[in-house]
Chain A
Amino acid sequence: MNDILLEVKQLKTYFFTEDGIVPAVDDVSFNIHKGETVAIVGESGSGKSVTSLSIMRLIEEPGKIVGGEINFEGINLNKVPRMKMREIRGNRIAMVFQEPLTSLNPVFTVGNQLAESIKLHQKKSKKEAREIGIEMLRKVGIARPDKVYDQYPHALSGGMRQRVMIAMALSCSPKLLIADEPTTALDVTIQAQILRLMRDLIKELDTSILLITHDLGVVAEMADTVVVMYGGQVVEKADVFTLFKEPKHPYTKGLMDSSPKIHEWNEELVSIPGTVPSPFEFPIGCKFADRCPHVMNKCKEEIPSLIEIRKGQEVRCWLHSEKVVDLE
Chain B
Amino acid sequence: MNYFIKRVLEIIPVLFIISFIVFVLVFVAGDPVALLLPEDAPEEAVETLRTSLGLDDPFYVQYGRYVVNMLQGDFGDSFRYGQDAMSLVLERLPATLELAIASILVAIMIAIPLGIWSSTKKNSSIDLVATGAAVLGKAMPNFWLGIMLILLFSVTLDMLPVSGRGSFSHLILPAITLGTGIAAEMTRLIRSSMLETLSQDYIRTAKSKGLRTGIVVYKHAFRNTLVPVVTIIALQTSTLIGGTLITETVFAWPGIGQLLIQAVNTRDMAIVQACVMVIAFFVIVMNLIADLLYQVLDPRIRYK
Contact = CB atoms under 8 A, between A and B. Distances in A.
Interface stretch (A7-15, A83-91, A245-253, A298-306): A83-91
Among A61, A85, A107, find the residue whose CB has the most chain B CB atoms closer than 10 A: A107
B65 interface: no
B224 A105 contact: yes
Contact of A95 (B208, B223, B297): B208
Interface in A259-296: none
A59 to B, nearest CB: 11
B276 interface: no
A108 interface: yes
Contacts of A224: none
Contacts of A155: 303
A146 to B, nearest CB: 19
A55 to B, nearest CB: 11
B298 A106 contact: yes
A176 to B, nearest CB: 12
B265 interface: no
Interface in B276-301: 297-300
Nearest to A99: B201
A107 B298 contact: yes
Contacts of B209: 89-90, 94, 116-117, 120, 168
Interface string A95-110: 1010100111111100
A56 interface: yes
Nearest to A121: B210
Contacts, number: 77
Interface string B185-222: 00000000000000011101111111110000000100
A58 interface: yes
Contacts of A91: 210
A261 B300 CA distance: 40
B221 to A, nearest CB: 9
Contacts of B122: 61
A152 interface: yes
Contact of A117 (B210, B223, B299): B210
A34 interface: no
**Which of B205, B212, B298 gathers most chain A CB within 10 Å?**
B205
A106 B300 CA distance: 7
A104 B297 CA distance: 16
Contacts of A95: 205, 208
A120 B210 contact: yes
A52 to B, nearest CB: 10
A199 interface: no
A99 B201 CA distance: 8
A138 interface: no
A86 B212 contact: yes
Given A107-B297, A154-B300, A89 B201 contact: no
A91 B208 CA distance: 9
B208 A94 contact: yes
A18 to B, nearest CB: 12
A99 B211 CA distance: 20
B20 to A, nearest CB: 41
A102 B202 contact: yes
B210 A89 contact: yes
A107 B201 contact: no
B201 A102 contact: yes
Interface string B120-149: 001000000000000000000000000000
Which of A85, A89, A103, A105 has the most C-beta atoms of chain B within 10 angstroms of its own C-beta?
Answer: A105
Contacts of B220: 105, 108
Contacts of A107: 223-224, 297-299
Interface string A147-175: 00000101100000000010010000000
Contact of A97 (B205, B223, B297): B205
A95 B207 CA distance: 10
A106 B202 contact: yes
Nearest to A178: B208
Nearest to B209: A90
A16 to B, nearest CB: 13
A88 B205 contact: no
Interface in B211-268: 211-212, 220, 223-224
A86 B210 CA distance: 4
Contacts of A85: 210
B210 A88 contact: yes
Contacts of B205: 95, 97, 103-105, 113, 165, 168
Interface of A: 56, 58, 61, 85-91, 94-95, 97, 99, 102-108, 113, 116-117, 120-121, 152, 154-155, 165, 168
Given A86-B210, A90-B211, A105-B202, 15 more contacts: A61-B122, A95-B205, A95-B208, A97-B204, A97-B208, A106-B202, A107-B223, A108-B220, A108-B223, A116-B211, A117-B209, A117-B210, A120-B211, A154-B299, A165-B205
**Which 9 A/B pairs are nearest by Cβ-Cβ distance?**
A89-B210, A90-B209, A90-B210, A102-B201, A105-B202, A152-B299, A95-B208, A117-B209, A86-B210
